[in-house]
Structure formats: C-alpha cells, structure tokens
Amino acid sequence: MCGIFGVCNNNESAKLTYLGLYALQHRGQESAGIISSDGKKFSNKVGNGLVSDVFLKKDFSRLKGFNAVGHVRYSTFGSSSITNAQPFAINFVDGNLAIAHNGNLCNAELLKNKLERDGSIFQTSTDTEVILHLVAKSKKKTIEEKIIDALLHVKGAYSLLFLSGKKLIAVRDPYGFRPLCIGKLKNSYIVSSESCAFDLVGAKYVRDVEPGEIVSISDDELKSRRFSKNGKNAFCIFEFIYFARPDSLVFGKSVYTIRKNLGKELAKESQPNADNVISVPDSANVAAVGFSTESKIPYEIGFIRNHYIGRTFIEPKQEIRNFGAKIKYNPVCETLKEKKIVLVDDSVVRGTTSRKLIKMLRNAGVKKIHHRISSPPIKHPCFYGIDTPKMSELIASRKSVKEIKEFFGVDTLHYLSLDGLIKATGMEKDNFCLACFTGEYPIKKADNCR
C-alpha cells in the first residue's frame, strides 16, 4: 500500500504535492518523496519517515517547476532502505523520466532477471524500477507509446504517475486494483490515490482514471487513451474495509457510506444483547457507527488511541503486560465496567491485536464481549500491493471461527459474510478482487510471485 499524488501546471506544484502527501500519509509511513519539474530539469527530495519529518521549509525553494509527483511508501517488494524510496527518476535518450507507483508487480523478478541478462543495471531492489528500464528500452516514438509498450510486459497491480518533459502521465492497470483519481484546481490538474487529498488543496474531484487507461496531461489539456481492454475489474475491496480514509471517494464511491454499511450488514447478520457498541480506533470507528445505527445499541468510546507514537520507543526492563498494544490503546474504564459490549474491528490478520485488546477489556471489568469483524476471515495472502503475512501467519487460515473465538477469549465472535460485504458496497461482485477471502486470484496463480 502506498500513496501517490501529482500536479500539472501550477507554480506551487511541490508545495501542493507536499500537502497531498500529508493527506495520504495513512497509505504509507516508511518514506516520502517529491520530484518537481520545470519541463527540463528535475529537483527532488526523498527521505525515510513521515512527510512532516522528511521535508523542511528550505526544500521548497529548491523544488521548482510547474509539475510535480510525490509518493508515500509502505514497502511490499524490496527492502525499506532509502535507495528504494520513491519517486525515482532516470535520464535516458528522451530526457528525464520520473515515476511514482502504488501496487505490486507480480512478474517483476522474472523481468528484472531478463533485463539484467540483457545488460541493464538496477539501482534499487524494487519492482517499480523494472518499468523504467522497459520504457527506456522501447523503440516506440512518443513517451505515452513507450509507457504502453513497457506495460504490455508487466503483470500485477499498478497505479502510476510519470513526469516527462512538460507532461504528467497517469496510468491504472487493466484490473484497476488500486485507486487513482483526477481533480481540478483552477487551471491545474491533480491526480491522487484518494480524493481526501483534493479537499486539502482545494481541488475538485473530476473522475477516476479508468482501469487500463493512460491519461496524459500537459499545461491544462488532458488526453486519454485506453491501452488495454481487460473487461474484468478487480478493485481491491480492502480499500473500502480498511485502507482508504473514510472521507475519500474511492472507485467513485464514498468510503464512509460503504464502511458504515459494512457495520449495518454486520448487525443484521448477528445482533447480540448488549449495552454498548465500541470500536477499535480509528480503523473500525465508521463500521461501529453503522453497527450501532442498525442495532440501536448506543455507541460509546471504549478505547482512546494515542496518535503520537514515533517509530521507536523505549520499553522498560520490568515487563509491562501487553506493552505493544497498551502504548497505542487505553481502555476507558468508565464506559466498560460491568458492561456487555459489542467490540467492532475492521479485520483480523494475525489476531495479535484483538487478543491483547480483549485482555485489556477484561482487566477493565467488561462482563461480556461480543466481537464483530466488518470483513470475512482473511485466509489467503495478497500479491497486489498489500503486505499481508504468509499464509501460516494468517490466523483464519489455521483456525476455525470457533477456535479463534476461544483463542481471543470472547463470548461470541462473528465475521461479516462475503455476501454481506458485497451488499454493503452496492456494487456488482465481479468488480472486486476478493482473493484474500476466497483464494480466487484475478491474475493466474502461476504469475503471482512476490
């Protein structure tokens, strides 16, 4: 999961990109970077850490030009070292070319080996660099044709932004795994992973980049071309469940509305007798509101989340039980003591968070815990840009729901059904990738490699 943001035709392109990345920070906290362009020369600043840590005020007098692309990174392929931080740029016969990528290429290793045998020298260990080498090798005439030519070799999930000459070019893979949308700010075009970044810079959402579409923007002119007719969408349904910010439009739909619907469907499927609904903040807040609305069980704040946790922290030698979870969440005893509660979470991956939080609830004096998850059990790994653990680490691939209930130590446990999940979106099932629940991968299994 990463966030990408680009601006075309604005004399404050780098500053706007900074703000855009700030709004997309939830999509990646490992590194952040901006490349700006005046049509000829690139300027860049890339570093490890949060957007607010990487960029200093003085950087913006250097980040000149009318166009810019930015990236926040959450690594899925390649190590998290600084050489892998994006955006990247190369200089080849056609001049400078910069790239920012959200997604994961399934056949990157294969392509990289082939390119290296043909003499290419790679600077990074990322899948993204493969695309730049393929573009540079293409014999086609225009940059758009070269990008299309390169992408014909590539399999997997990619939402991409390129800077080349005076152009900002946006591409979404034929399945549309990851979101990408276009906004307008006066005479400037903006492209972003999520629309919440438009709100911050005062831009208006125009439309999504369509699956298999390449959009080339120069000055205030936008040209579009379909490079692939896949005919099968595979939007990542986890964008609605967990990844995207609820104030965003993703795949043209309000994340808030769908996330609230997830909670409503969950309440319809399994409504216990309880005093209060609480959420695991912040990711399950909206689903919990939906659960409360549908069930008429009042919503309360059960945990306070500390938002100021840095990368490293010091743990005292003397053992503090559940330290990892405690530093992030603290139960509000006043709302929990002697209560029967519904605990809503968005998803369970390894199950370690839930287990610790449940212990904390018991210590706070909760009488009954009805655990409700606003997505089905995750049984299969993701190959399309999400860093899910190996199958053996996914609790639902090893244990039945009954065994998980016992492991968590809750009174009842219910996961949203696949039907309930689809219903909440108001969209047709075949628009989505559901592979982490069903094991049915949109791209042939043989091509799914990490």
Q: Which residues are known catalytic residues? A: 2
436 in contact with ligand SF4 (CB under 6 A): yes
Q: Measured between alpha carbons, how far is 104 from 157 in angstroms, rounded to an integer? A: 5
- Contact of 168 with 136, CB cutoff 8 Å: no
100 in contact with ligand SF4 (CB under 6 A): no
Classify strands 42-48 and 88-92 as parallel, antiparallel or unpaired: unpaired
Binding partner of residue 18 among ligand SF4, Mg ion, ligand 5GP, none, CB cut-off 5 to 8 Å per kind: none
Nearer to ligand SF4, 130 or 436 (CB): 436
Nearer to Mg ion, 161 or 416 (CB): 416
Kindly state the tokens that stand for 206: 């125009």
Mark the segment that binds ligand SF4 (CB under 6 A) among 43-51, 94-102, 122-130, 427-435. 427-435
Q: Which residue is nearest to ligand SF4 (CB)?
A: 382
277 in contact with ligand 5GP (CB under 6 A): no
H-assigned helices in 120-193 = 128-137, 143-151
Length reported for the chain: 450
Phi, psi of 59 (to 5 degrees): -60, -30
Nearer to ligand SF4, 183 or 246 (CB): 246
386 in contact with ligand 5GP (CB under 6 A): yes
72 in contact with ligand 5GP (CB under 6 A): no
386 in contact with ligand SF4 (CB under 6 A): yes
- Tell me the HSE value of 373 on the side-chain side, using a 13 A CA sphere: 22
Smallest CA-to-CA distance from 294 within 437, 416, 427 is with 416
Nearer to ligand 5GP, 341 or 349 (CB): 349
Contact pick of 16, 23, 236, 250 for ligand SF4 (by CB under 6 A): 236
Smallest CA-to-CA distance from 39 within 81, 90, 88, 96 is with 96
255 in contact with ligand SF4 (CB under 6 A): no
Contact pick of 382, 395, 422, 427 for ligand SF4 (by CB under 6 A): 382
85 in contact with ligand 5GP (CB under 6 A): no
2 in contact with ligand SF4 (CB under 6 A): no
Nearer to Mg ion, 59 or 282 (CB): 282
158 in contact with ligand SF4 (CB under 6 A): no
Q: Measured between alpha carbons, how far is 393 from 272 in angstroms, rounded to an integer? A: 30
Contact pick of 351, 399, 412, 449 for ligand 5GP (by CB under 6 A): 351
Rounded to a whole number, what is the distance in angstroms from the first to the last CA of the chain? 14
Binding partner of residue 325 among Mg ion, ligand SF4, ligand 5GP, none, CB cut-off 5 to 8 Å per kind: none
Kindly state the tokens that stand for 414: 């219910």
**Which CA distances in Å does 373 have to 228, 259, 280?**
37, 12, 10
Smallest CA-to-CA distance from 105 within 433, 444, 439, 384 is with 384
H-assigned helices in 206-364 = 238, 255-269, 285-295, 323-326, 333-336, 352-363
**To the nearest whole angstrom, how small is the minimum distance from the Cβ of residue 133 to ligand SF4?**
25
| CA-CA-CA-CA dihedral for 115, 119, 124, 127, to nearest 10 | -10
Nearer to ligand SF4, 1 or 161 (CB): 1
DSSP string, 316-354: PSS--TTHHHHTTEEE-HHHHTT-EEEEEES--SSSHHH
279 in contact with ligand 5GP (CB under 6 A): no
Binding mask 168-187 for ligand SF4 (x = CB under 6 A): ---------x----------
Nearer to ligand SF4, 205 or 238 (CB): 238
DSSP helix, strand, coil percent of the chain (3-state; round to 5): 30, 25, 40
Positions in 217-236 near ligand 5GP (CB under 6 A)? none
283 in contact with Mg ion (CB under 5 A): yes
**To the nearest whole angstrom, how small is the minimum distance from the Cβ of residue 197 to ligand SF4?**
21
Contact pick of 131, 197, 280, 396 for Mg ion (by CB under 5 A): 280
| CA-CA-CA-CA dihedral for 283, 285, 291, 295, to nearest 10 | 160
Binding partner of residue 237 among ligand 5GP, Mg ion, ligand SF4, none, CB cut-off 5 to 8 Å per kind: ligand SF4
Site residues, Mg ion (CB under 5 A): 280, 283
Site residues, ligand SF4 (CB under 6 A): 177, 236-238, 382, 384, 386, 433-436
Site residues, ligand 5GP (CB under 6 A): 242, 283, 345-354, 386-388
